[in-house]
Structures are given as structure tokens and as C-alpha cells.
Structure 1
């Protein structure tokens, strides 16, 4: 598939879905299957075991069953914006059919396009891509924690717990000496 086959569009600001609440964009879903053909076996299993649960969880989505003789199973999703998508499900097992139905339910119905920006550069970053482990020691990746080497502060050789305990002792001793001086 060439890059020209995918529709292109500019990045736009999209308004939030609904005013104050989420509005499901899927208005109708049609399950097409054959009652006797073996290729529709998983679709029939999905309809028998999972469709009732789907309809109970999504009362705003209308579900239709359309038996068709000697045709591969498919799902037709119709959205509030008027778009209609057909997905062939031959060879898909029940968990995969569940995932595709959920995918259709959560879609906005907007056509999938290759997003392009108004600005373009051949070198997006002169510094490279940063990630949280960029300047970390690679030895840490193979170390089991807690580790004596990585838990000690390199300058003093003491652990962070030792330093916190020392600070606490200093604070408590200064508080006791201050209260002792005020008592005289």
C-alpha cells in the first residue's frame, strides 16, 4: 500500500465529547453471520455467550442480527456522524471479536487519516530523544535490588537511612539541649 492511498488531513483542535458527559458515538451495530457455515462458528458463539452482556452494558447502542446464507461473518458499525464501517471477522475467535466490537464502541466514527502538521523539519531534534534512563548507569539494569553498591552515597559511604537517622539524632539532641537551657 502506498502512502498516497491513506487520506491526509491537518491536525485540528477537537472539541470535547458531549457537554458535561460522555456520549457514545456508536449508534448501531449489525452482526452478519451464516447459521450453518463453519466460518461463522465463532460469531455464533459470540452472539450466544457475549452479546447479551454487551447490550446490557451499552443500552444506547442498537444491536441487529442479520443471518446471511453462505457469507463470511462481519460487523457493520454506524456512527452518529453518519459514517459506516464494515469489518470482516472470518477466522477471528470469540475474544478477538469481543476486542473488535469494543474497538468499534469506543471509536468516534471519524475517518482514520494520516495527520500532518503545518510545520515541518528534516531534523526534529538536534539533542536526540530524551528518556528517563538516558544518563543512568547501564549496570543498574542487571542488578538485583536492594544493592549495597547503589544504596550507598558515593562520597561518605553511608546509606540514606544512616544519614536520616543522624539528622534525626542531631535535631532531637538540639531540642533537648534547648529545653534544658530554657529550664535553668
Structure 2
């Protein structure tokens, strides 16, 4: 153990940060969503209970007390599905505890945060699903992977489009014909006349 301490103390500060691999400590997982979070357009907020622990006198709670005095009632009216508790604690730093539908809890210290920062943290908890912070293994993940791979703008397009220089006049004329709406209506009218006469 003493060799390990001697080795760390001899390293400069920058090396100490890179000495420890955070991959070993931070849990990792694939990106995921709550697939049954409301059917259709009905959204179910995952945050169910918000506990604001604050001291009435302590200096570090000034921003939290300011938010409670000015924004708490407005927040409660806008988000009636979230139960808000204000818990006074004497001579302690303010905290924010969010409890979620799946049973997870998020704890955020609010020491010396001003009113805007407290508001930012509360809305951050409101838009999360309650999972702890994870290191993402990939930016995308699917439970049923496809053989054709990830979609790109060039998927199902001819391969010669990759080697062309853009903007390409041939492609523009082919994909976006320069015909006005009036000309299209006139052509339809002429076709209808031909169909009636034959």
C-alpha cells in the first residue's frame, strides 16, 4: 500500500487524473427508453415526488429559499402530477431529492445555488427517467438489429451518387422537376379531355 501512495504522490496532478480509469468505476450500459411511457400522445412523467431540504437561516440556502418563495406555487400548478415536499433542516446545506416511478432516487446538493440554478436542477429532474448516471457503451442500441445496418441518407440509393460532386444538375432535374403547379393542372385537364373523347 505504501508503494502505491509513494507512486501517486510523486506523479504531477495531471497524471493522477489520467492514472485512474473511470471505466472501472462508472457502470456502463446501452442507451434505453421507457417504451411504455404513455400510449399515443399521453405522456407519463417519471418524476413522482420532489423533496426540497432547506435551512431557514443558513447562508448556503439563499437561492433555494428564493425559489421556494417565488416559483414553488407556479411549479406546483404547472405540474400537478409531481408531489412537492419542503423539508426544513437546521444549519445544513440544501438538497434536492427526486423520487421516480420505477423506485429510483436522485439526490442533488444545492449549496450556494442561485434561484435560476435551482430552477434548472428541478427541471432537469423533471425531464429524466430516474436512472443513475451511466457511461453509454454506444450512442445507439436496438434489441432487434437489422442486417442492412444503420440508416444513412445514402441507404437504398445508387452507389454512383457517392462519387458525384454536388450540387449535380442531372440529379436536381431528375428528382425535382421544374414544373409549376399551373402546368401540372393544365396537363391533367388535357388528359381528362383525351379520356372523354376516346
Q: Does 1:62 align with 2:83?
A: yes
Using structure 1 for the length normalisation, give the TM-score. 0.61
Q: CA offsets per residue over residues 25-80 of structure 1, 9 Å max, x none?
A: 00000000101111111111100001111000000000000000011011000000
- Structure 2 equivalent of residue 124 of structure 1: none
Q: Which residue of 1 aligns with 2:173?
A: none
In structure 1, C-alpha distance between the alignment counterparts of 2:130 and 2:93, rounded to whole Å: 24
Q: Distance in 1 between matches of 2:23 and 2:64?
A: 33
Q: What RMSD, in angstroms, separates the aligned Cα atoms of the two structures?
A: 2.5
**CA displacement at 1:10 relative to structure 2:** 3.1
Once the two structures are superposed, residues 79-119 of structure 1 have per-residue CA deviations (whole angstroms, 9 ceiling, x without a partner) of: 0000011100101110011011000011111222112249x
Q: Distance in 2 between matches of 1:50 and 1:13?
A: 30
Q: TM-score, normalised by structure 2?
A: 0.57
Aligned: 1:89 with 2:149: no
Deviation at 1:13, TM superposition (A): 6.7
Unaligned runs of 5+ in 2: 1-19, 142-164, 167-177, 184-198
Alignment gaps of 5+ in structure 1: 119-134, 137-163, 165-170, 172-184
User: What is the distance in 1 between the residues matched to 2:32 and 2:55?
Assistant: 42
Tell me how far apart the structure 2 counterparts of residues 82 and 35 of structure 1 sit (CA, whole Å). 30
- Largest Rg, 1 or 2: 1
Change (3 A) 1:14 1:69: closer
Counterpart of 1:44 in structure 2 is 65
Task: Count how many residue pairs are aligned between Structure 1 and Structure 2.
Answer: 124
